[in-house]
A = this chain, B = another copy of it.
């Protein structure tokens, strides 16, 4: 599949796809005329990028992670270590989010209480 169709399928611009390519993502196969080609595996990679980005990982982190996933078959120990540290990081982020959520909830409760009081005066 060519870059236009690929970009449409994963929901980003062709410029963004080329940029991701420069960073190191995707198989870099080209046809004779120089056109880039993308596969279903590249779609998976693009989905991984989207997921990674949505939870706050940088492109380089996602690249390192996806390469470790690919190397997983060869180097179990390192892959497991990396995956475990990623999971720990995610757990920390979830904990952080929950703390801030609690703050916001308290503020919201306080807002509502003040409002109720004002209405009753």
**What's the minimum C-beta distance from A119 to chain B, rounded to whole angstroms?**
10
Instruction: Report which of B56, B84, B87, B104 forms a contact with A87, defined as CB distance below 8 A.
Output: B104
A121 within 8 A of B: no
B51 touches A100 (CB 8 A): yes
A90 touches B111 (CB 8 A): no
Contacts A51-B103, A76-B115, A80-B108: A97 and B87 contacting too (C-beta < 8 A)? Answer: no
A29 within 8 A of B: no
Q: Identify the closest chain B residue to A73 (Cβ).
A: B114
Copies in the complex: 2
CB contacts (< 8 Å) of A99 on chain B: these are 51
A12 within 8 A of B: no
* 6 cross-chain CB contacts under 8 A: A51-B100, A54-B96, A83-B111, A87-B105, A87-B108, A90-B104
Known: A69-B107, A83-B111, A87-B105. 18 other contacts (CB 8 A): A51-B96, A51-B100, A52-B100, A54-B96, A55-B97, A55-B100, A72-B107, A76-B111, A76-B114, A76-B115, A79-B111, A83-B107, A84-B108, A87-B101, A87-B104, A87-B108, A93-B97, A94-B97
